[in-house]
Chain A
Amino acid sequence: MIVCVAVVGHQNNPLYIQSFTEADDALKLHHIVHCSLDVIDERVNNPKKSGTTLNEAFLGLLYPTVNYKVYGYLTNTKVKFILVTTDLDVRDTDVRSFFRRFHAAYVDAVSNPFHVPGKKITSRTFAETVRDIVRSYVLN
């Protein structure tokens, strides 16, 4: 189950963060997303280590923890998408396709002329699209 998706700006500021848990524990997901920026930073700053992975936007699994998985995606504009899921057997292709759809939704949202780049995404349509994507992903 996807518990959280987030868009993080190129200065590591949260642009959009939405949790999909029932409990009132969004803060811990904020924490997970925020800490996962460490991993993204590390990969971006040490291209030697990550090797070929930087050639594509999908950063793969960021956190190999026992209980949840964090996936990352880095756009050309250095905006990061972060996905936290509690599913432990996730196929990379699924996550990739998820991020691709999410990226498309994000591009739509920021193409809005009334959106200020670098500011939080407040579009309701974006939120709905994201919810739909997450829901469809759960169904799969």
Chain B
Amino acid sequence: MANYLAQFQTIKGSCDRLVIAVEDVCDLWPTVKSSFEEHQPLKRALLNNKTRNSVFVESLPVEFILTTDARLRSRFPQEQSLFWFREPYATVVLVTCEDLDEFKNILKPRLKLIVQNDEREWFIVFVSRAHPSNDSATKSVKKVYAKLEVEFSSKKRERCCKLDIHGPEANFWEDLEIKITECIKNTLDRRVQFYEDEIRKLSEQRFMPIWNFCNFFILKESLAFIFEMAHLHEDALREYDELELCYLETINAPGKQREFGGLDNGDDRAALLNPGNKQLTQIVQDDSFREFEFRQYLFACQSKLLFKLNRPFEVASRGYSFVISFAKALTLHENVLPFCMREVWVITACLSLIYATASHHHDGAVAPDIEKEFYRVQGDLYSLSRVKFMRLGYLIGYGADIERSPLNSACLSMLPWPKPAVWPSLPANASSVVLEKEKVILQETSRTKHFGIQRKPLPLEPSVLLRVANRRRASLSAGNLPEMFDGRSSIVDGSGLEASPRKLSPVKLQANAMTRTNSSPGNIDSPLDRPMRLAEIFVAAEHALRHTISDLDLSKSLSSTQDFEKKYLDLTKGAAENYHRSWWKRHGVVLDGEIAAVCFKHGNYDLAAKSYEKVCALYAGEGWQDLLADFLPNLAECQKILSDQAGYLSSCVRLLSLDKSLFTLKERQAFQSEVVSLAHSEMKNPVPLDVSSLITFSGNPGPPLQLCDGDPGTLSVTVWSGFPDDITLDSLSLTLVATNNTDEGGQALKSSAATVLKPGKNAITFALPPQKPGSYVLGVLTGQIGHLRFRSHSFSKGGPVESDDFMSYEKPTRPILKISNPRPLVDLAAAISSAFLINEAQWIGIIVRPIDYSLKGAALHIDTGPGLKIEDSYGIEMERYPDEDYHVKTSKDEANAKGSTVSLEKDCELLNLSSGKIVFPEWASDVNSILWVPVRALGEELARGSSSVNPLKQDVLEGMRTIALKLEFGVCHNQIFERTIAVHFTDPFHVTTRVANKCNDGTLVLQVMLQSLVKANLIVNDAWLDLQDGFVHTGQSDGRPTSNFFPLVVSPGSRAGLLFSICSRKNVSTEGEELQQPDSILNIKYGVDGDRAAGAHRPVDVDRSATDTESLELVFRSAIVLQRPVLDPCLAVGFLPLPSDGLRVGQLITMKWRVERLKDLEGSEAMEHKDEVLYEVNANSDNWMIAGRKRGHVLLSREQGSRIVISILCVPLVAGYVRPPHLGLPNIDESHVSCNPPGPHLVCVLPPVLSSSFCVPIK
């Protein structure tokens, strides 16, 4: 069967559509042909796939061929079964007949004959040529067609359809299509069944010696082709997949050693998308095919189907795996293949896959994730070809143009060298080329990175090429290594390409000398005899490659450095772009870095910087510092060249903030010096620099600094510097951010002077102006180095900068500063509320209570109000104020250390008032203290006594004095507390007098009662009475009580009485020279025994000389009024008795007074209206409501004995004993009026009568 292979291929090539045979019985085909062909491809073909599931084929092209056509005739039956796919799938029998007899006699037998072959799927198309207007013809045609249907159609299957040439035909074509489809379906099923049976039969023989893969292939591919023709591409693809699996099993089966293939010219160009690349007959080997070609053929067939299925993604992904696995196969056969055949093949395969799939791929045609995957595979293909291309480039000496990046190193250094059977040898007459290559190698210098960073370059080679190449040469055994190294060391010296420092020969210098001579043209004539040098290896490889590569494009791109670079860049860009469109962003960005390296080399710094930035951002973002350290210097260099100062500075800062182990101290110092020098140079546009990663700061550990509202303070902050050396900051400031108010920008604290930051931890102190209440966290640290403003947002958490921690930007929650809400910080109060002695120097106590706040250095302004002055000559005493808390505290203290009490005792100090203020001593900062201020209240008025008739009416305000206090405290005296305290001053006694007894001889016993008004014992030492005119002391006494009673001690609040015996004297007024004394004066000599902590006390000035008893004595003078008795009454006023039933609240009552003239009033009081008197009714308005005239004149005749009654209506308002209204006669001196009753009296007022009607029950 294998012999049919060629024929099979030809037939397969010529068949492209399903064939429908047309049996033209009545010569109708020419008439209907065009319309038949117009109605294909079939639009809705429902076919069965291999698993007998219905598949909807949207467009199925068919070809109508007459059975008489040469193409369908003269085929051998064997051929027919083998190439069944080209046999008709249906037979259309075209008939027409208008006569029933003709049908019966001629047409029917003929049709029976045609359709008797069961193998064929057939149906009859009856063409009616009858014109619709011709009724009879139509009728007979109908009859014939009915007969035809009866004859050929069965219940199971409708095999007839009718085409009216002149009539409407819409239904016909649908009918026809259904019928054709049905036929095709049946035929297809049968044929597939047949092939499957055949294939199964063959498969059963698989492990028998007679088994032939070619036969199996023909059957399998025929089946695949049948499916493909029927547009069942999925099934076709499955057949090919099975075929591939089967093939791979065949070749992997142990046993026969087969030829691999791939030795033909042009085989290096991958043909994995071109099934017709080679005739299958060419690649037949024994009973199978050569692997190299056949696998590519199979893949090509698969990819063709996949493209038809519109699945370019699958082509790419299958292609990638295919390339990988095929490359493995190529590796296995590397020793028979041309030099680097594998690399070349992979490159071309990848590129062709990329181009083919990319041209079939349309964005948006597939699901987004498939699309991403597609681009990923494209990227993979690009990068695979890129790796292989780099390898080729390296082999021919372009290694220096390949960046020794981690990516390239990872790709190349783990990729083994090609292992040809024999390493290519140097072609003849290559000496000049070798020399040139050597020159190039010698000229190459390893580029040192910016900042003088020196790193060992990453390897691009899996092992030393020199050794590998020489070992594989036929003429050399692996043993003579020393010889090889002699030849090698010259290259090691100059190029740095062979990075293997361990093997650096100790005899390098000698070797140099040797190789110099070696490299002279005369000595390379016979390279076979000695190990090849690197340049020679390159030249030899290039020569060999030129033979291997048939692809013009590829060979051109390897022909010169420029072309190499261009292709390299193309591939890198392709890979990067595709990766960027896929999920694999990291791959894309890393490749950008490779592009950047090339751009950099060509001076395209702008692009290079952009790409490097992306790479650095990627590595920095995820904290891959080792990789970042490799790229960041490159970026910095670009930025420097582009004079992008901001970028350059930030790169330097980033370099500095990388892990310290990544750079040497020297390198780090170089970074710093760059920063500093740039900062101090003239910057065109000074830019802020973020040094968050380099300079971090934190508050001191422990609780936050607590300040009261309005207080300034100092804030100590720890700043970590990541600079390797000391760095001078011209200024430094720090913002604080209130936690409760994020809108407002923080307030900046400035550190005044230039600061030098040491590497590591530094403590910086900031002066803190008063802040608003709230808690604050650290905000931003800003500063200036030269012209450079920098800022740092980074908070270290109490430890040194951990550079691996890229999450350190989160805000610290710990507040650094707490400003409490305004609260009372101190309290000033008067210590004593009881009264002091007026007109004496008294100690006023002012209690100063700090409320959790230090009063260090506080100053108290004392401003006394009117009537008060400070006796500043005595100084102000300050002492500890022992309150309850204090006692508890001290008792505790005492338990701890007894000595502490001593210091407490000392807490008493004399302070001086200077310009109205005193400054608190140190000890008083935190304890309650009391200030004793000596003051004197000035009271001009003489104290007046009162008679017992008119009770004491004290005016509280009279003795009140105020002291305005203003305390300035806090760190800068910023806190001010103001308070005005009131102090009460009073006379020591209140004096009341009454006449205790009135003797017949006119002697009056005057009782003087002294009521103590102060909280101190008053010691009365002496008392005398200076009487007013009209009174004299009885006897010869000087008006002093018996001295035996003195001293008399009057306790606080108690009363004492003195009795004086006086009588009135009328005739004293004759002594004209004597001064008229209106009032009597009571003089009391007294002393005070009181504690200043309780109230009145010994006056300050007295206090000084406490021993002198004389000076202890004070004199109190009080005026008392003595009233002469009414001796010659002219008028008598009598209060008429009230009704007997008493007074009631709210009850109207008439008060009556009778006024009677006792004698005519004489004397100087000249009265214009002598026959009338002026009266006035006085009543306490709280107690009485008075109706009527309160004041007025009433007629009273001048005759003695004339009388009148004055009555007035009153309503008592309160119940109880109250003073009734009083009738006075203002015009007449009191001494002429006799009253009855003579003094004030009380009347009883009853409560109002209960009125039950107003009672409301209360629940």
Which A residues form the contact surface with B (CB < 8 A)?
A: 11-14, 17, 23-32, 34-35, 37-39, 41-42, 45-46, 48-49, 64, 66-68, 86, 118-120
Q: Cβ of A42 and Cβ of B804 under 8 Å apart? A: no
**A34 and B583 contacting across the interface, CB-CB below 8 Å:** no
Q: Does B590 contact A (CB under 8 A)?
A: yes
> Mask for B91-118, Cβ within 8 A of A = 1, else 0?
0000000000000000000000000000
* Bound CA span A134–B321, Å: 30
Whether A31 contacts B324 in the complex (CB less than 8 A), given A13-B806, A67-B414, A120-B804, comes out as no
A-B contact pairs, 20 of them (CB 8 A): A13-B623, A14-B624, A23-B413, A25-B413, A27-B630, A31-B405, A31-B590, A34-B586, A34-B619, A34-B622, A34-B624, A35-B584, A35-B590, A38-B586, A39-B584, A42-B376, A45-B583, A48-B369, A64-B324, A68-B414
Partner of A25, one of B328, B369, B458, B585: B458
In whole angstroms, what is the CA distance A120 to B328 when docked? 39
Name the contact of B415 in the complex, choosing from A30, A41, A48, A66 (C-beta under 8 A).
A66
Contact with A along B613-630 (1 / 0, CB 8 A): 000000100111011001
Give the residues from 372 to 426 in chain B that come closer than 8 angstroms, CB to CB, to chain A: 373, 376, 405-407, 409-410, 413-416
Chain A residues, CB < 8 A from B406: 27-28, 30-31
Q: Is B802 at the interface (CB under 8 A from chain A)? A: yes
Binding site for A on B (CB under 8 A): 321, 324, 327-328, 369, 373, 376, 405-407, 409-410, 413-416, 456, 458-459, 583-587, 590, 619, 622-624, 626-627, 630, 802, 804-807
User: Given contacts A31-B407, A34-B627, A120-B804, is CB(A49)–CB(B622) below 8 Å?
Assistant: no
In-complex Cβ contact of B410 among A32, A46, A118 (8 A):
A32
User: Residue of A at shortest CB range from B628?
Assistant: A30
The list of the 10 closest CB pairs from A to B, nearest first, reads A31-B406, A13-B623, A28-B410, A38-B584, A28-B409, A42-B583, A67-B414, A12-B622, A27-B406, A28-B406
CA distance A28 to B586 in the complex (A): 14
Give the nearest-CB partner of B410 in chain A.
Answer: A28
Residues on the B chain within 8 Å of A86, using CB: 414
Q: Are A13 and B622 in contact (CB under 8 A)?
A: yes
Scoring A17, A42, A68 by chain B CB atoms within 10 A of each residue's CB, the highest score goes to A42
Residues of A within 8 A of B804 (CB): 13, 119-120
Contact A31 B627 (CB under 8 A): yes
Query: Taking the nearest CB of chain B, how far is it from the CB of A89, in angstroms?
Result: 12
Whether the pair A25, B409 counts as a contact (CB closer than 8 A) is yes
A30-B626 CB under 8 A given contacts A46-B369, A49-B369: yes
A66, B587: Cα distance in complex, Å: 17
Given A34-B627, A64-B324, verify A23-B459 contact (CB < 8 Å).
yes
| Contacts across chains A and B counted by CB atoms under 8 Å | 92
Name B802's closest neighbour in chain A (CB-CB): A119
- Shortest Cβ distance from A11 into B: residue: B622
B409 to chain A, nearest CB (A): 4
Question: Other than the known A28-B407, A38-B587, A86-B414, what 14 A-B pairs have Cβ atoms closer than 8 Å?
Answer: A11-B622, A13-B622, A13-B623, A14-B623, A25-B459, A30-B624, A31-B406, A31-B627, A38-B586, A42-B376, A49-B369, A66-B415, A67-B415, A119-B802
A35 to B406: give the CA distance in the assembly, Å. 11
Kindly name the residue among A46, A67, A68, A86 whose own CB sees the greatest number of chain B CB atoms within 10 A: A67
CB-contact partner of A28 in B321, B458, B587, under 8 A: B458
- Contact across chains for A38 and B410 when beta carbons are under 8 A apart: no
B498 to chain A, nearest CB (A): 13
Residues of B within 8 A of A49 (CB): 369, 373
* Residues in chain B near residue A35, CB distance under 8 A: 407, 584, 586-587, 590
Q: For B407, what are the chain A residues with a Cβ–Cβ distance below 8 Å? A: 28, 31, 35
The CA-CA distance from A3 to B416 in the complex, in Å, is: 16
Cα–Cα distance between A88 and B18 once the two chains are bound (Å): 48
Which chain A residues border B802 with CB–CB below 8 Å? 119
Residues of B contacting A66 with CB < 8 Å? 324, 327-328, 415
CA distance A118 to B324 in the complex (A): 38
Known: A27-B458, A27-B626. A67 touches B584 (CB 8 A): no
CB distance from A58 to the nearest CB of B (A): 20
Query: Which chain B residues border A45 with CB–CB below 8 Å?
Result: 583
Nearest residue in B to A14 (C-beta to C-beta)? B624
Q: Complex formed: what's the CA distance from A35 to B369 in Å?
A: 20
> Are A27 and B409 neighbours in the complex by a CB distance under 8 Å?
yes
Q: Give the interface centre of A23, A31, A41 by most chain B CB atoms within 10 Å.
A: A31
A30 / chain B contacts, CB cutoff of 8 Å:
406, 624, 626-627
Q: Within the assembled complex, what's the spacing in Å between the Cα atoms of A30 and B623? A: 12
- CA distance in complex: A13, B618 (Å): 11
On whether the beta carbons of B585 and A38 are closer than 8 Å, the reply is yes
Q: What B residues does A68 contact at CB under 8 A? A: 414
Taken together as a complex, chains A and B put the C-alpha atoms of A28 and B630 apart, in Å, by: 11
Q: Considering the chains assembled together, what is the distance between the CA atoms of A31 and B456 in angstroms?
A: 17
Query: What is the CA–CA distance of A32 and B407 in the complex, to the nearest angstrom?
Result: 8
CA distance A66 to B323 in the complex (A): 10
